[in-house]
Amino acid sequence: MIHVEIAAETLFTIGGFEVTNSMVGAVLASLLLLAGAWYITRRSALVPHRLQSLLELPVEWVANIVQGSSTRWRGYVALVIGLFIMILVANWLSLLPGVGTIGINHEVDGHEVLTPLVRPAAADLNFTLGLAIITFVVFVWWGVRLHGPLGYLKELVGEPRYMAPLMFPIHLISELSRLVSLSMRLFGNVFAGEVLIATMLALTTATLFVLPLAFFVPAIFLGLELLFGAVQALVFALLTMTYITMAIAEGQGDHADEHPTGDDHDVQPSTTTASSPA
Amino acid sequence: MGIAFDLGIRLGISVILGLGGGLLLDSWLHTSPVFTLIGMALGIGAAMYTIWDVAHDAMRK
């Protein structure tokens, strides 16, 4: 029987604080990233060896994209790369054997239900909403930094001023829609992927007649999930970059590249146009 | 492509946010359907504004 739980399941509580299986997934992804970072910083070489090249490849790739987004790319490149790597590792971790399949059995309404010990972090709305809130705060901060607090509020109110009662809620809804869109897209895609794989496994192991298919059909979908996991991580990271770039461009006006302000040492004359997300 | 995906989702979310906010206000102030209609109109307006905002940004580049 397929059991799909939209909310992450609580494994245990520590002093009233509920530890869910998606938290375990997020912690595992973080530990994996820390181990990778530790390895790179301890054993890095000027001419990278194979493993170092492999670990540096996604970082360099995203850094090259961000470099072309605006003249102030140094201010947010770490966030974009961090988001990409974290989501990528969290998504790919869900494809490992045991994730979602090893857990604790318990009875619900007479049926035996499995509570997995590890659940993909992005299959929990709390995780994706947390990341989206970080992104939201950062691009609002960039807007406030370049306009000033009053200038940012004036931007929200819009021109002409007598249209403020109409334009302020419209601007507010439009800004909030970014937060919801970022979090819901990632959660929806990863959760749907989990449900799809569970359904395919259940269908192909349902009867002895179709049992041989259980070895091939889920493998196809696991391969697709490998691709979707990377695409979703990239989309989240690049949309973060796009939102920040938009906030910077609005702050600097349409002549941003002619009169860069503030941290001019970040200016890269040859890279002034934004790249579109994949 | 990411921007296109994002735009599609944001259009729907803008309307849902406006409509949801209106429904909440109506249930709180017992003024149904005044704020629901206003919220829906604002949500549709926000969706249109989002299209303009994204197009404006794309043209600037």
> Are the Cβ atoms of B13 and A184 closer than 8 angstroms?
yes
Which stretches in chain A have pLDDT values below 70?
Answer: 1, 251-278
| Cα atoms in the Cβ-side hemisphere of radius 13 Å centred on A176 | 17
At A51 the pLDDT is 82
pLDDT score for A253? 56
In angstroms, the Cα distances linking A275 to A48, A131, A239, A241 are 28, 22, 11, 9
At A115 the pLDDT is 87
Task: Give the whole-angstrom CA distance, residue B42 versus residue B46.
Answer: 6
Q: What is the pLDDT of residues B48-57, one digit of tens each?
A: 999 998 888 7
Which chain A residue has its CA at the smallest distance from B9's CA?
A181
pLDDT at B1: 65
Report chain B residues touching chain A, CB-CB < 8 A. 1-3, 5-6, 9-10, 13-14, 17-18, 21, 42-43, 45-46, 49-50, 53, 57, 60-61
Sequence-separated (6 or more) residues with CB below 8 Å from residue A179: A129, A132, A133, A135, A136
pLDDT in tens, A250-277: 756 544 444 444 444 444 434 434 444 4
Q: How far is A186 from chain B (nearest CA, A)?
A: 11
Distance of CA A203 to the CA centre of its chain: 30
- Tokens 């496994």 locate to A201
Task: Provide the pLDDT for residue A32.
Answer: 94
**The pLDDT value given to residue A191:** 94
CB of A99 closer than 8 Å to CB of A93: yes
Q: What is the rounded distance in angstroms from the CA atom of residue A30 to the CA atom of residue A127?
A: 13
Give this complex's ipTM: 0.90
The predicted structure's pLDDT at residue A90: 96
